[in-house]
Homo-oligomer: A and B are copies of this chain.
Amino acid sequence: MSQIKRAYGQNLLQLLASPENAEALSQLSERRYKKGHIMFWPHDKEDLVLIVKQGKVRVYLGLEGKELSLSILGPGDVYTSHSRAYVAAMEDTVVYLCPVYKFYTLTTKSLSLSLSLFMALGKLLSGSIALVENLYFYDIDKRVAAYFYEQALVHGEPSAGGLLVDVGLTVDKIATIVGSSRQTVSSLISGMEKDGILKKVARGEYLILNMDELKYLAHPCPD
């Protein structure tokens, strides 16, 4: 079981780099995409697994000019070609590609790879259920506050006056994550700036001045 234990807390990329998975790694093709390139389109016929090696990838739904982001993937994250979503490079990106069936066969030879793939699928599933919950039960002001609160919890760095968070996304892209327009999100951010809750310090960078208030905006009910 030591292979399984080691797999906890490691993403697929780290596992593929270990000598025991050298054969699996040799079976994957590496591809580079320029920023903005759409790698997969909805209902792509090819059935491929994608593992991000370098860069940042956005998975999103789109209809008639309206977009909703399902996931922002970084190194070690996984997705497939065969879904309802667009998959696009947000910056210059390098990925590993492999037909789903072949990749599955590779994971059956390695407990750690197989567990890591399960965990990646589980993460995608819980992320999409969280998105359903947010869209259906919460208003947009709560969704925007919750977005910044969660980013600050995970990525916040203590700094003079508060927590510095580099969300690395324009307001436009944040709007596709919380399911609203750029205008609405922009005016909600301005509102939080006026209330002294946060401050935009650079493109994609925010200083959270009052985490308690931000948390309260995001989750007004104690529980």
Is the C-beta of A61 less than 8 angstroms from some C-beta in chain B?
Answer: yes
Q: Given B108, B132, B137, which contacts A131 in the complex, CB threshold below 8 Å?
A: B132
Q: Is the CB of B133 within 8 A of A61?
A: yes
Tally chain A residues at the interface, Cβ within 8 Å. 33
Chain A interface, DSSP helix/strand/loop, else mixed? helix
Q: Is the CB of A129 within 8 A of B128?
A: yes
* Count of identical protomers in the assembly: 2
Contacts of A115 in B (CB 8 A): 104
Please, what's the 1-or-0 string for A81-117, where 1 marks a CB less than 8 Å from any CB in chain B?
0011100000000000000000011001001001101
Contacts of A153 in B (CB 8 A): none
Is the C-beta of A191 less than 8 angstroms from some C-beta in chain B?
Answer: no
Contacts of A133 in B (CB 8 A): 61, 63, 68, 84
Q: Which residue on B lies nearest to A133, using beta carbons?
A: B61
Q: Is the CB of A135 within 8 A of B135?
A: yes
Q: Is the CB of A132 within 8 A of B137?
A: no
